[in-house]
């Protein structure tokens, strides 16, 4: 099929935060041609972060979860194709085949394929009550199961596992978090922060088991009844949530011979190695110029930043200024905010006492350059840290630790 | 429905009818007004919906809480009339509200 002489338009594959944002930015930046958004889920783009928190606790509505209202897509002339999945990409023909048998031509293609829960090859993973949490449908299943008195076992002490454990307690269920490493958040936070978070969870009634392997999921009548531990112990449960990280949904790109390495490899304009194909969000492995490396970032800010990069490049705008990675998480009454990544950090500075009242941990390089900040209930320190990291400022550790230092002066 | 006027940094003005109960941020995002990013979706975690509220409207928009104040204190180009748009709830009392966008949210 040839599209010569006509604008086949832009096709976005993926209806998550990245894909939905890309559609919005393309229109904001003046793109007026045909624009199609293809989503596997039957829902218009929605926010995933509340799924483990407000949504699970029944404090959000479908309306508040939606990234934008349905009329937005009509008003902005974005054609949405929901509940369909792209099964093949023909780069030479500039077409994408969908699982409903249709084929879409494109002039430019944006892959916003997202990520999927890392599968854990455990015996019993097919039992009823064994869940993962990626989609609103997953969250609805989980919510239905987390009745008061229900026993939740979480395999994996990452953000999702801890957030769900906190929500479960709020819903009147019990929660056990089983973590293979010696601390929770081992992949994403420093040991001091992990220690604080796991102790806080324990103080709120979560049973946190560290350095604990999982052997199998056990059940009766097809329903999960417990998690068998490597040490032989058993954690009885009615619901088992597996939250051990995510993998890039890059199969479509791989099959089309786009460069993939732990995700679709892109540059700072979200371009793949095909000039007509961009990739954004969780599915990408992207450059982090400040840290001189590529990285896969599973976060909303990353999805939005890359959506902007792709939309800017396609519409001939200058690229947006690079942002530093940042993340947030809410667990009980803790607000965790992190900015920067501590690659190359050799110094850790604690500002404030590790307490629910608020504190921050700064990570510095050997020359006192601020590389990352982790803050608990300390929004000002988080914001100051974000500025310091962005500016790559050097600050003497003693000044950061001294609560009488004015962060505004340090960040200026 | 109250009308909110959003003025981009480059002067482009968008007057939009926004439903009561939504936030000023949601009014912008739902209508694709450029300049309000709202990375965190309105949970006051990111300060990417920073706006300047016209002085005449400042008091009617309420007082920022501690969290918002802390976040705003470090937003680039923050001023006395800075607010996070996700923390201002639209009501009839805000019919005619004018907010201006900073040059950038990051």
Please report, for the domain that includes residue A68, its CATH number: 3.50.50.60
Higher confidence at residue A211 or residue B38?
A: A211
Residues of chain A with a CB closer than 8 angstroms to some CB in chain B: 24, 27-28, 47, 49-50, 67-69, 72, 75-76, 300-301, 304, 321, 323, 326, 328, 330, 335, 337, 379-380, 383-384, 386-387, 407-408, 411
Predicted-complex ipTM score: 0.94
Instruction: Give the number of domains in chain B.
Output: 1
- Of B30, B45, B74, nearest to A380 by CB-CB distance is B74
A171 and A251 assigned to the same domain: no
Residue B92 has what pLDDT? 97
Helix boundaries (H) for A146-299 = 159-170, 191-203, 251-255
- Of B29, B40, B70, nearest to A380 by CB-CB distance is B70
Mean pLDDT of chain B: 93
Query: Is there a domain that residue B106 lies in?
Result: no
Token pair 């110094």 in the structure block, residue: A347
List phi, psi (to 5°) of B60: -70, -20
Chain A neighbors of B37, CB-CB under 8 A = 304
Residue A321 has what pLDDT? 87
A240 and A252 assigned to the same domain: no
Interchain pair A68, B39: CB under 8 A: no
In sequence order, what are the residues at sequence separation of 6 or more whose Cβ sits closer than 8 angstroms to the Cβ of residue B40?
A: A49, A300, A328, B46, B48, B86
Q: Which domain holds residue B39?
A: 3-100
For position B52, which CATH number holds? 3.10.20.30
Helix boundaries (H) for A42-90 = 62-65, 70-75
How many whole angstroms separate alpha carbon A121 and alpha carbon A69? Answer: 39
Taking CA A301 as the corner, what is the angle to CA A131 and CA A187, rounded to the nearest 5 degrees? 55
Contacts of B9-17 with CB under 8 Å at 24 or more apart are B9/B35, B9/B100, B9/B101, B9/B102, B9/B103, B9/B104
- Of A379, A387, A408, nearest to B67 by CB-CB distance is A379
Instruction: Give the number of domains in chain A.
Output: 3
Query: Is there a domain that residue B14 lies in?
Result: yes
A224 and A137 assigned to the same domain: yes
Taking CA A112 as the corner, what is the angle to CA A107 and CA A113, rounded to the nearest 5 degrees? 120
Residue A6 has what pLDDT? 67
Q: Which domain holds residue A388?
A: 333-411
Residue A120 has what pLDDT? 94
Query: Is there a domain that residue A376 lies in?
Result: yes
Q: Is B19 on the interface with A (CB under 8 A)?
A: no
Interchain pair A383, B70: CB under 8 A: yes
Give helix A17-28 / helix A300-314 axis angle, nearest 10°. 40
Query: Is there a domain that residue A89 lies in?
Result: yes
Residue A290 has what pLDDT? 86
pLDDT in tens, chain A (412 residues): 444 456 889 999 999 999 999 999 999 999 999 999 999 999 999 999 999 999 999 999 999 999 999 999 999 999 999 999 999 999 999 999 999 999 999 999 999 999 999 999 999 999 999 999 999 999 999 999 999 999 999 999 999 999 999 999 999 999 999 999 999 999 999 999 999 999 999 999 999 999 999 999 999 999 999 999 999 999 999 999 999 999 999 999 999 999 999 999 999 999 999 999 999 999 999 999 888 899 999 999 999 999 999 999 999 999 998 899 999 999 999 999 999 999 999 999 999 999 999 999 999 999 999 999 999 999 999 999 999 999 999 999 999 999 999 998 898 8
pLDDT digits (tens, 9 = 90+) for B58-92: 999 999 999 999 899 888 788 999 999 999 999 99
Going by C-alpha positions, the residue among B66, B63, B25, B68 that lies closest to residue B44 is: B68
Strand, coil or helix: A336: strand
Helix (H) and strand (E) counts in chain B: 3, 5
A94 and A177 assigned to the same domain: no
Dihedral, CA of residue B25, residue B27, residue B33 and residue B37, to nearest 10: 20
Q: Is B29 on the interface with A (CB under 8 A)?
A: yes
Residue A4 has what pLDDT? 46
Residue A2 has what pLDDT? 42
For position A373, which CATH number holds? 3.30.390.30
Residue A3 has what pLDDT? 42
Domain end among A244, A260, A289: A244
Chain A neighbors of B45, CB-CB under 8 A = 328, 335, 337, 379
Cβ–Cβ pairs < 8 A, chains A and B: 62
Interchain pair B45, A380: CB under 8 A: no
A223 and A296 assigned to the same domain: no
A233 and A87 assigned to the same domain: no
Interchain pair A72, B31: CB under 8 A: yes
Count CB neighbours of A153 within 10 A: 29
């Amino acid at each position: 099929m040839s599209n010569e002489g006509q604008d086949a338009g832009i096709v976005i594959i993926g209806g998550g935060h990245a894909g939905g944002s890309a559609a919005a930015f393309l229109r904001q930046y003046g793109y007026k041609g045909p624009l199609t958004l293809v989503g596997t889920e039957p829902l218009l783009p929605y926010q995933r972060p509340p799924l483990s928190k407000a949504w699970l606790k029944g404090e959000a509505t479908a309306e508040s979860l939606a990234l934008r209202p349905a009329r937005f897509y009509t008003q902005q002339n974005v054609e949405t194709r929901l509940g369909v999945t792209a099964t093949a990409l023909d780069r030479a023909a500039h077409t994408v085949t969908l699982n409903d048998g249709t084929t879409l031509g494109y002039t430019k293609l944006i892959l916003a394929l997202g990520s999927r829960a890392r599968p854990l090859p455990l015996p019993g993973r097919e039992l009823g009550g064994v869940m993962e949490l990626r989609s609103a449908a997953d969250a609805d299943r989980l919510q239905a199961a987390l009745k008061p008195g229900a026993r939740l076992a979480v395999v994996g002490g990452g953000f999702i596992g801890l957030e769900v454990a906190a929500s479960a307690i709020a819903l009147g269920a019990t929660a056990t978090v089983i973590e293979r490493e010696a601390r929770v958040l081992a992949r994403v936070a420093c040991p001091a922060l992990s220690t604080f978070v796991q102790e806080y969870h324990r103080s709120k009634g979560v049973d946190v088991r560290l350095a604990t392997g999982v052997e199998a999921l056990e059940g009766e009548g097809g329903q999960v009844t417990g998690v068998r531990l490597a040490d032989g112990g058993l954690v009885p449960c009615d619901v088992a949530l597996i939250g051990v990280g995510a993998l890039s949904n890059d199969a479509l790109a791989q099959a089309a011979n786009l460069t993939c390495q732990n995700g679709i490899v892109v540059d700072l304009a979200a371009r793949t190695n095909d000039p007509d194909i961009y990739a954004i969000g969780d599915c990408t492995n992207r450059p982090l110029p400040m840290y001189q490396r590529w990285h896969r970032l599973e976060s909303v800010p990353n999805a939005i930043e890359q959506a902007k990069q792709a939309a800017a490049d396609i519409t001939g705008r200058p690229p947006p200024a690079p942002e530093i990675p940042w993340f947030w998480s809410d667990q009980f009454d803790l607000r965790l905010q992190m900015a920067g990544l501590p690659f190359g950090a050799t110094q850790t500075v604690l500002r404030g006492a590790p307490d629910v009242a608020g504190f921050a941990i700064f990570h510095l390089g050997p020359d006192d350059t601020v590389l990352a900040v982790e803050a608990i209930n300390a929004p000002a320190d988080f914001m100051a840290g974000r500025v310091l990291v962005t500016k790559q400022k050097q600050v003497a550790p003693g000044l950061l630790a001294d609560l009488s230092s004015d962060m505004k002066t340090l960040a200026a | 429905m109250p009308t909110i006027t959003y003025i981009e940094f480059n002067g482009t003005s968008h007057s939009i009818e926004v439903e009561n109960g939504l936030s000023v941020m949601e009014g912008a995002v739902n209508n694709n007004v450029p300049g309000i990013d709202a990375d965190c979706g309105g949970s006051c975690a990111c300060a990417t919906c920073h706006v300047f509220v016209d002085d005449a409207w400042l008091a009617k928009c309420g007082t920022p809480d501690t969290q918002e104040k802390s976040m705003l204190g470090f937003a680039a180009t923050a001023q006395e009339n800075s607010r996070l748009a996700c923390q201002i709830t639209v009501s009839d009392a805000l019919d005619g509200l004018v907010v201006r966008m900073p040059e950038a949210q990051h």
